[in-house]
Amino acid sequence: MTKRTRRNHASGFKAKVALAAVKGDKTVVEIAQQYEVHPNQVTEWKRQLQEKAADVFEGKSPVSKAEPDLKVLHAKIGQQALEIDFLSGALTKAGLLSAKE
């Protein structure tokens, strides 16, 4: 018996398999054979879909990675660039930093 390497399935694929299981047109074994996954995995994805289906209708935005505010980040970069230039000039005038550095 050859051992398969671990596969990572996309969320869209998982949803498709879980929806097929929820429909009930085919058995879990038939769905597992069709999509080439283990029957236990089909059952798990079906359970997850059923548990989280109510979250779709709550009106809350799904928990996702917060995207950074680019304007704030660009402003911070600009501020830091000004501070570096100012300190570099001050150190050069004080003789603590050579012009080549």
Cα end-to-end distance, the chain, whole Å: 64
57, 65 contact by CB (below 8 A): no
Per domain, the residue ranges of the chain are 9-56, 67-101
Q: Diameter of the chain by CA atoms?
A: 81
Q: Model pTM? A: 0.54
Residue 28, number of CB atoms within 10 A of its CB: 16
11-61 per-position pLDDT tens digit: 999 999 999 999 989 999 999 999 999 999 999 999 999 998 888 888 766
